[in-house]
Amino acid sequence: MNESALLQIVDAGPLPLQRDSKERSPLPENLKTGLQLSQLPALDGLRAVGAFLVVFYHFGFAYVPGGFGVLMFFVLSGFLITWLLLKETEQSGSISLRHFYVRRSLRIVPAFYGYWLLYVGLALIFHKTIIWNQAICALFYVSNYFQAIHGNLNTGLSHAWSLGIEEQFYLLWAPLFFLLRKRPNRQVWVLLGLIVTVWVHRELLHFVFGVSQGYIYQAFDTRADHLLMGCLLAVLLRFGFLGGFWRAICSRPALSVITTSLLLVSVALQIHFGSTYRDTVAFVVDPVLVALLIVQTIAFRGTVLWRWLQFAWVRYLGRISYSIYLYQQLVMDPTRKRLVGFPVIVQLAAAVAVVILLASASYFIIERPFLSLKDRFRGTSGRYLRPESQRSQVGQIQANLEVPHRGIS
């Protein structure tokens, strides 16, 4: 047992989960062993895919589904956050909301604020127009509603709407999870109820009230179900719900081709029918298919079809995908315009290289130093643990504890 695992359960109180007594069908072995890994490289690969869908769309390839890349991020975020909360609950019996918010802030805020300062600084130096209402809303993670109401102003901060949705989700989901943490069955039903409620709400806004597609695309109340779908997936897998279904869809790698094909069909229908299909059908169907694809890429991680998601360079792009998403907004279009006389492939290669360079700098200079602080805010006591205090407490409990080494780090 390693020290980092022990640090997560220091000061934990024994509050066991209330599991129902019904025997559940086990998960398929290929999926079960994948979920027991300390890291899930396939998910890093999926992050990279989502990020580069956005990159290629903003470069000017209109038929690349950049919005689908954002949807992938939402489902992945809901899944990973809930999986980690479930792990913390199983290890310590509860969660610390204070520590959760500190860890989320260390993950998201520094990199974005670094980007925000760079964008505003460059705009001031080169005398570019800054839309301060939008900039301030982005700074406080509410630009999704600013743009949902006022429209997308197409600036270097326009993409901050998705960050606003994620932050607003974290604020609400953690307390709700805390209340439901010992009742897996209730978690499932509450999540299903919330997802269906958002579905109905979105259909009413479109068909009855005629709300603009911009609002439906960028508002938290119309996109929360995508993150909730990831949360539901984490709960279903962690507690072994629907074991027979997971065994069926993970029985043959070819089934993941069907899932991928259905997603491609949905993307094609969106291109053909536009925002009407996206807002009323794709926003219901696509998160479900992405959740299934997450399961299948974990289960089939070693097959020819999905092994590439574990290539070192793909995993690296997945790790820096947050900064890639941030800096592509600033780089893609200006680079393309400056190289307008060159072949498109040269323009694209140069733009992607600049994005990766800036994203890597952000990751190593800003993200990693702050991420290294996250382990100091674990456990349920709500108390900051200094490194020397952590080592002391680990030594005291090491002989008496066994924590299974599984899940996502």
Please check whether residue 263 lies inside any domain of the structure. yes
Query: In degrees, to the nearest 5, what angle opens at C-alpha 50 toward C-alphas 49 and 56?
Result: 85
Q: What tokens were used for 75?
A: 């489902």
Query: At which residue do the structure tokens 């027979």 appear?
Result: 244
Give this prediction's pTM: 0.87
Q: Tell me if 408 sits within 8 A of 80, measured CB to CB.
A: yes
What is the reported pLDDT for 374? 77
What is the reported pLDDT for 94? 85
What is the reported pLDDT for 360? 98
Model pLDDT for residues 6-39, shown as the tens digit of each residue: 333 333 333 344 444 455 678 999 999 999 988 8
CA distance 168 to 230: 16
Based on DSSP, count helices (H) and strands (E) in the chain, helices before strands: 20, 0
Compute how many other C-beta atoms are within 10 angstroms of the C-beta atom of residue 274.
11
Please check whether residue 409 lies inside any domain of the structure. no
CA distance 284 to 53: 20
Q: Tell me if 246 sits within 8 A of 238, measured CB to CB.
A: no
Please check whether residue 377 lies inside any domain of the structure. no
What is the reported pLDDT for 395? 40
What is the reported pLDDT for 387? 45
Percentage of residues of the chain with pLDDT beyond 90:
78
> Which residues contact residue 373 at a Cβ distance below 8 angstroms, ignoring those fewer than 6 apart?
106
Please check whether residue 362 lies inside any domain of the structure. no
What is the reported pLDDT for 229? 98
Please check whether residue 288 lies inside any domain of the structure. yes
Alpha helix segments (H runs only) across 1-142: 3-7, 29-35, 41-59, 66-92, 97-125, 132-139
Please check whether residue 161 lies inside any domain of the structure. yes
Please check whether residue 41 lies inside any domain of the structure. yes
Q: At what angle do helices 283-299 and 66-92 cross, to 10 degrees?
A: 60
Compute how many other C-beta atoms are within 10 angstroms of the C-beta atom of residue 405.
12
Which stretches of the chain drop beneath a pLDDT of 50?
A: 1-21, 381-409
CA distance 95 to 17: 12
Q: Tell me if 80 sits within 8 A of 230, measured CB to CB.
A: yes
How many separate domains does the chain show?
1
CA distance 401 to 384: 22
Which domain range does residue 177 map to?
A: 27-321
What is the reported pLDDT for 14? 37
Please check whether residue 380 lies inside any domain of the structure. no
What is the reported pLDDT for 126? 93
Compute how many other C-beta atoms are within 10 angstroms of the C-beta atom of residue 26.
13
What is the reported pLDDT for 189? 97
The number of CA neighbours under 13 Å toward the Cβ of 315 is 11
Please give the torsion angle defined by the CA atoms of residues 321, 405, 248 and 180, in that order, rounded to the nearest 10 degrees: -80
What is the reported pLDDT for 404? 34
What is the reported pLDDT for 398? 36
Q: Tell me if 143 sits within 8 A of 161, measured CB to CB.
A: yes
